[in-house]
Amino acid sequence: MEIKPDVQPASITSEDEAKRAVHKLREAIRLHNYRYYVVDDPIISDAEYDQLMAALLDLEARFPELASPDSPTQQVGGKPREELGTVEHPTPMLSLKSVQDENGLRDFNRSCRQKLNEKVIEYIAEPKYDGLAVELIYQRGRLVVASTRGDGQRGEDITANVKTVREVPLVLLGQEGEVIPERLVVRGEIFMRIAEFRELNERRARAGEPPFANPRNAAAGSVRQLDPNITAQRSLHIFLYEATHVEGREFETQWQVLETLPKWGLKVNKERLRICSGVEEAIQFHRELAQDRDHLEYEIDGSVFKVNRLAYQKQLGVRSRDPKWAVAFKFKPRQMTTRINAIEVQVGRTGVLTPVALLEPVQIGGVEVKRASLHNLSEIERKDIRIGDTVLVERAGDVIPYVVKPVMEQRNGSERQFTMPDKCPVCGSEVVLSDDRKTAVCTGLACDAQIRRRIEHFVSKGGMNVQGLGEKMVDKLAGAGLLKRLSSIFELNRDDLLSLDRMGAKSTDNLLREIEQSKQQTMARFLFALGIPLVGEHLARVLAENFATLPDLMQASREELQKINEIGPEVANSIVRFFADQKNRSVIAEMLAAGVQLSNPLYQAEYEPLPLQGVTFVFTGTLERWTRSEAKALVESLGGRAVSGVSRRTDYVVAGPGAGSKLQEAAKHGVAVMDEKQFAEFIDRYRKHL
């Protein structure tokens, strides 16, 4: 097998040539998936892998008759479905009996010893993953069915979604001479790493969507999506831990199974597996795992112990619900009930107001919990959480504790409803609450709780574009008391800057020059820099196209704003409230008085569409002639839009070296792709409009 097949898609014109090239590319990509996901030992760079995938996508697009459901390109999504079907498991997918302490594990061991008439029994020890249990069925080496546990007899058909999980091979490999079985049924756990779970919740918060409660819910919700394309956007992983049917291959022990699965390209958690001789070694494994629990990158809630010899498993048999040869040893619970004494509202660095429950202190998982995030008003109302409620609180790993639900049976009528304040508790400015009640934002430009973040946004490339005034410098200036509001930037002087540690004359002069240059600014950039809630770069341009001057916009009514295409009542309300705030008007007046001058080349009294009006671009990979921000600004100056994600509404994808999954998305949606040279030629046609 070639590690990097020398395939040049553009030179291939016949179907026979394409067929050979596609075969080589698929074999190579499967090998590299195995090296990357299963054995964690890649042998090519990410850029080289992306080149192989791009070549395969190109050939499959040009020769659609070569498309195959088990091609690596199919691990990026599929058509949405109306509902998930059901699948009957070949053998029941049982749960595990649990024990709560070491004596319970000793009782289990004693029972196994007596039934097997053995003095010492060998166990396989592994973590009990807190994810979604799944079953995978391979026929002739190809994945044909994936399903959830369901009721143990039948589960949900999640085949299309599981195919998007990169760690699940669509076609098995035969590594180290291992023959691929005619039929293979394996089981495991799909999960989401804690860091990826947090990132997902942060993205959902920014989009005004409710957060997932914990990584398990996030993984389960992702796998059960009706649209596989949504699943493909989530970071999901899998560990396989059992083979219930292997046609044409015999094993003596569970350990042999776990050693063989990776040779077929199936991932096991080799770092956390152990053979334990007797129950005391098993107990020691559990103690060590409990100590390591909070340092793992994924959630677990205990240990699992299985009798190693498969003949012994068969001899011990099963009950109606669980096998007699395996047991789960659970960790101490991380859910407890306590009382909400009050609900406090915090103002974050972005101006978002977050309600936080102040709890009667309670020990959860060995940690005292006094506070728990309630996320947003919509969540509070959905769960009907009230001040004075007895509530169930969960702490999973080192994830911030949260309130699962109120205990309705404990209510006595003294509980009080929570209301989101209409004024910021820090600065007193107006609070804008979104229509779905998921996001509440302080509109104050001078709010102490968010001034540093507002300044970072204000001076960013998309805003005033002040080079040299990054996060560290903003923190240094704010820490020295030199930045108390946005207009403070234009009050900085040479003596102020030279008084700071490690600020020399050259860097001081450079920063002051950048600040001075930023005063000559376009109205669109200034509006974006202000950080008006719900107004991003695109809407800032829309506003500049429709209002000649800043005073015109500041005096605009909700009705005037809603006449503009793309501006609805929620955005209009946000803009009016922002400019109605006297503190905001004062900060803007201070900046204008300091010399900020706004031009507005986008406004045209008799509106004439710009040449790229309505044309959408996506940039991916490395650009050499421009930075990504410069290319984006170039497109927008001609009336176009630059967005981050590829969809069927995208017109062009501009791809530089190292372009990745966006090329796959472009091929899937039939979006035209151009390189940087072609993009430059395309833009040059419209230079006269700049």
**Residue 424 belongs to some domain of the structure:** no
What is the rounded end-to-end Cα distance, in angstroms, of the chain? 52
The whole-number average pLDDT for the span 15-26 is 87
357 and 240 in a common domain: no
d(CA 160, CA 226): 9
State the CATH number of the domain containing residue 346: 2.40.50.140
The answer on pLDDT for 69 being more than 50 is yes
- Residue 646: the pLDDT is 85
State the CATH number of the domain containing residue 35: 1.10.287.610
- Count CA within 13 A, CB hemisphere, residue 24: 17
**Residue 93 belongs to some domain of the structure:** no
20 and 154 in a common domain: no
Structure tokens at 13: 């014109």
The answer on pLDDT for 689 being more than 50 is no
106 and 193 in a common domain: yes
Q: Please give the helix or strand (H or E) that residue 668 lies within, else none.
A: helix 661-669
Q: Please give the helix or strand (H or E) that residue 179 lies within, else none.
A: none
- Residue 188: the pLDDT is 96
The SS3 assignment for 576 reads helix
Closest CA to 388 of 369, 360, 425: 360
518 and 448 in a common domain: yes
152 and 300 in a common domain: yes
Query: Which residue of the set 128, 163, 306, 668 is catalytic?
Result: 128
The whole-number average pLDDT for the span 284-298 is 91
Q: What is the pLDDT of residues 538-590, one digit of tens each?
A: 889 899 989 999 999 999 999 999 988 788 888 898 899 899 988 889 999 99
283 and 156 in a common domain: yes
- Domain end, chosen from 330, 365, 380, is at 330
Q: What is the pLDDT of residues 313-322, one digit of tens each?
A: 999 999 878 8
- Domain end, chosen from 599, 624, 647, is at 599
Buried-state track 574-603, b at ≥16 Cβ within 10 A, e below 16: bbbbbbebebbeebbebbbeeebebebebb
- Is residue 116 within 8 Å of residue 316, measured between CB atoms? yes
227 and 107 in a common domain: yes
Phi-psi region of 351 (alpha: psi -120 to 50; beta: other; left: phi over 0): left
At residue 260's C-alpha, the angle toward residues 278 and 41, to 5°, is: 110
Closest CA to 485 of 549, 530, 528: 530
- Residue 398: the pLDDT is 45
**Integer CA distances (angstroms), 141 to 134, 137, 174, in order:** 18, 9, 9
- Is residue 129 within 8 Å of residue 62, measured between CB atoms? no
**Residue 91 belongs to some domain of the structure:** no
464 and 315 in a common domain: no
Range among 62-66, 109-113, 395-399, 442-446 rated most confident? 109-113
Radius of gyration of the chain (CA): 30
* Among the ranges given (19-33, 42-56, 61-75, 90-104), the one the predictor scored with the smallest mean pLDDT: 42-56
The SS3 assignment for 275 reads strand
Kindly indicate the confidence band of residue 397, based on its pLDDT and cuts at 50, 70 and 90: very low
Q: Please give the helix or strand (H or E) that residue 522 lies within, else none.
A: strand 520-522
d(CA 108, CA 98): 10
204 and 251 in a common domain: yes
- Looking at per-residue pLDDT, the higher value among 386 and 400 belongs to 386
* Among the ranges given (392-406, 514-528, 555-569), the one the predictor scored with the smallest mean pLDDT: 392-406
Q: What is the pLDDT of residues 637-685, one digit of tens each?
A: 777 888 877 888 889 999 887 777 788 888 888 889 998 888 888 888 7
Q: Please give the helix or strand (H or E) that residue 167 lies within, else none.
A: none
**Residue 420 belongs to some domain of the structure:** no
**Residue 607 belongs to some domain of the structure:** no
Give every CB contact of residue 549 below 8 A, 6+ residues apart in sequence.
Answer: 523, 598, 600
**Residue 185 belongs to some domain of the structure:** yes
Of all residues in the chain, the percent with pLDDT exceeding 90 is 37
Q: Number of folded domains in the chain? A: 5
State the CATH number of the domain containing residue 678: 3.40.50.10190
The whole-number average pLDDT for the span 74-103 is 76
Give every CB contact of residue 249 below 8 A, 6+ residues apart in sequence.
Answer: 179, 181, 260
Q: What is the pLDDT of residues 171-222, one digit of tens each?
A: 998 888 889 999 999 999 999 999 899 888 888 877 767 777 778 888 888 8
User: For 35, which DSSP code?
Assistant: I
128 is known as an active-site residue: yes
- Residue 396: the pLDDT is 54
Closest CA to 677 of 657, 662, 647, 651: 657
Structure tokens at 638: 């001609």
Q: What is the pLDDT of residues 322-365, one digit of tens each?
A: 899 999 998 876 778 899 999 999 887 678 899 999 999 988 76
Give the phi and the psi of residue 611 in degrees, each rounded to 5.
-60, -30
The answer on pLDDT for 19 being more than 60 is yes
State the CATH number of the domain containing residue 509: 1.10.150.20
170 and 304 in a common domain: yes
The whole-number average pLDDT for the span 497-516 is 87
The answer on pLDDT for 241 being more than 90 is yes
222 and 199 in a common domain: yes
Of all residues in the chain, the percent with pLDDT exceeding 70 is 93
The answer on pLDDT for 151 being more than 50 is yes
171 and 276 in a common domain: yes
d(CA 532, CA 444): 9
Give every CB contact of residue 570 below 8 A, 6+ residues apart in sequence.
Answer: 434, 435, 534
**Residue 218 belongs to some domain of the structure:** yes
- Domain end, chosen from 330, 353, 371, is at 330
**Residue 489 belongs to some domain of the structure:** yes
Neighbours of 160 (CB within 10 A): 23
Range of the structural domain that residue 664 is part of: 616-689
